[in-house]
Structure 1
Amino acid sequence: MPSDLVAAETRLRRSLPAELRQLLLESNGVIGHYLVDTVWSLDQIVEKNLLFWSDETFARLYMPFDALLFFGDNGGGDQFAFVQKPERPDIFVWEHESDSRRWVANNLRDYLSRALRTGDDDWYQP
């Protein structure tokens, strides 16, 4: 529902990318191969981002996450995100073991195509 998106953006204090908003209006998330949360539900997007942006343990262990908007994962700890500072349509992966952030797709449509095409949860690895 559009009102749920507005409420989520209010809690996040930022707008969701247009592509993500449209997908969430059509489907509240996308489950990929092996039940991986390729795109989280709206509630998960809000809760996980608020955690990433405010958790003191994360702040001590990792570079800041405030430029990222996480929206999905690979089922093994790596997270996928839009870069919002500066705003761009590209999708990056945050690899939790190394704290690296690396480009993986041109936009959400490209990300979904890549993530759902192979059936391999490590599709983004070089």
Structure 2
Amino acid sequence: MALAAIERDLGSPVPPALRALLLETDGMDGNHMNVVWPAARILEANREFRTFPDFRELYMPFDTLMFFGDNGGGDQFAFVRTPRRDDEVFVWDHETDSRDCIAGSLEQYLSDALGSEGDWYR
């Protein structure tokens, strides 16, 4: 099962709200963005972010994050896994390497992402 592989390979549990959504839909697309990736892509993308050699020179480590979606232009959406924060959704800005809380819950994130266009989180 893909969720078990995510937890095993990334070393932390999938947040409960994200787990429930993935079991129900296995991903969700929105206005020119990948609001929630399918479970297989979550695993693949997080592996890449954590192991790609060039990223180690450009960015702070990604081991504390679990990416699960993107805006289609390089910014990524994530849950913080260390310390474990199951509710808040963060955005990683690929140009500045900033990591900012943009939603207090996955539900709020989905509402904002699906109800807006462009870089709605700025």
TM-score normalised according to structure 1 size: 0.91
Please provide the CA RMSD for this pair: 1.0
1:6 partnered with 2:11: no
CA deviation vs aligned residue, 1:80-104 (integer Å, no higher than 9, x gap): 0001111111111000011111110
Deviation >6 Å, runs of 4+: none
Deviation at 1:33, TM superposition (A): 1.2
Contact 2:12–2:81 (CA under 8 A) maintained in structure 1: no
Report the equivalent of 1:106. 104
1:83 partnered with 2:87: no
CA deviation vs aligned residue, 1:30-68 (integer Å, no higher than 9, x gap): 00013x211011011000001111111101100111111
Deviation at 1:76, TM superposition (A): 0.3
Equivalent AA in structure 2 for residue 44 of structure 1 = R
Question: Gapped runs of 5+ residues in structure 2?
Answer: none
The percent identity for this pair of structures is 50
TM-score normalised according to structure 2 size: 0.94
Equivalent AA in structure 2 for residue 76 of structure 1 = G
Report the equivalent of 2:35. 38
Deviation at 1:14, TM superposition (A): 1.9
Deviation at 1:4, TM superposition (A): 2.9
Deviation at 1:7, TM superposition (A): 2.6
Report the equivalent of 1:21. 19
Deviation at 1:6, TM superposition (A): 1.5
Q: How many residues align?
A: 121
How far apart in 1 are the matches of 2:6 and 2:97? 26
Equivalent AA in structure 2 for residue 93 of structure 1 = V
Given candidates 53, 73, 79, the residue that maps to 1:56 is 53
How far apart in 1 are the matches of 2:25 and 2:68? 13
